[in-house]
Amino acid sequence: MRIDDRIAAHQLDLSPQERRAAATLLEHLDDLATYRAAELADLAGVSRATMSRLFRSLGYADFDEVREQLRAQRAAGEPRRPEGGTDLPGHALREAEAVRRAVEHPRVAEVVALLATAPRVTVVGWRNSHPVALHLRQQLAHLRGDVRLAPLPGQVVGEELADLRAGDALVVVGFRRRPAGFADVLREALASGATVVLLGDPTALEHGRSVHLWLECPVDSVLGFDSYAAAMSLVSVLADGVLCHLGRAGQDRIDAISRSYERLAEVERARHPGRPRAGRSS
């Protein structure tokens, strides 16, 4: 149980001083791991012995166990206030390294060839993985036909998996805090005969061992939330690789889509910086 759940469950069993200490823990829950037990006792206005008794009453050996639980929750993807405040320079360096690791993955070329040649490509993603899946589908749809996204709003993936055939490609985006039943979807997809690609962070490694192609992409961040910059960069690299693989055919499709945009007036026309607009003096 999380520490706030434990406090709620044991509230009536705590002494008045322990309740006071527990209230302080709840007030500082977002950055609790940045404190020492003695500092928390001072903040609550209770003795260090009272704070230690509280941790034992909640089922912890000591505050170190509390801190480890909080760190484990962050490692699982739960947003937390960054320890020591926001480190933007550190964030930028970590992002650059994450992008490098993602785009230099040794299986990228194999995935590119699959996405360029498979009769049908289906891209699947839930929760935080959905925007990455949506972006990948959008990029690929500019280059080739029969690229699908699942699940669509209000739908499940069963209908899409039923259409998979040998030779098709299924790209599953599975970053941490994946939905229950994720492994079942992979098993169903593998049974279809389609080639299954999994794009996920290191917590998906066990799932990655079961699929045909595994692309590891870090999302860890020094900030409070996971970062998907490396994932989006990897999508761009995959799409660029498919464009190079398809050559003239891919460019012709892009050109045809652009002409369609113009006929339907669906996209704002780009203006060149510094160039005077029609009807206005320079």
Query: Tell me: the pLDDT tens digits for 85-106?
Result: 667 787 788 888 888 888 888 9
Strand partners, 271: none
* Cα separations in angstroms, 43 against 37, 55, 186: 10, 16, 49
Predicted confidence at residue 118, as pLDDT, reads 96
What pLDDT is attached to residue 278?
40
* Spatial distance between the Cα atoms of 24 and 38, rounded to a whole number of angstroms: 13
Beta bridge partners of 149: 123
Query: 């599953």: which residue's tokens?
Result: 172
Of 103, 144, 98, the residue nearest 121 (C-alpha): 144
Residue 217 to residue 234: CA distance in whole angstroms: 8
Domains 3-75 and 91-264 share a fold: no
Is the full-model pTM beyond 0.75?
no
Pick the CATH number of 91-264 from 3.40.640.10, 3.20.20.110, 3.40.920.10, 3.40.50.10490: 3.40.50.10490
pLDDT value of position 86: 66
Predicted confidence at residue 143, as pLDDT, reads 94
Q: What does the alpha-carbon distance between residue 203 and residue 100 come to, in Å, rounded to a whole number? A: 19
CA–CA gap between residue 96 and residue 191 (Å, rounded): 37
Domain positions in the chain: 3-75, 91-264
The C-alpha angle 224, 132, 263, rounded to 5 degrees, equals 130
Distance CA 149, CA 123 (A): 5
Rounded to 5°, angle at Cα 226 from 221 and 230: 75
User: Which amino acid, residue 115?
Assistant: L
Cβ contact 144:246 at 8 Å: yes
**Length reported for the chain:** 282
**Bridge partners for 90 per DSSP:** none
Per-residue model confidence (pLDDT) at position 280: 41
Q: CB neighbours of 53 closer than 8 A, spacing ≥ 6?
A: 15, 18
CA distance 260 to 254: 10
Sign of CA dihedral 45, 9, 181, 131: negative
Q: Which residues of the chain have pLDDT under 50?
A: 275-282
CA–CA dist 79, 64 (Å, integer): 20
Question: What is the model's pLDDT at position 276?
Answer: 42
The CATH class of 3-75 is mainly alpha
pLDDT at 145: 93
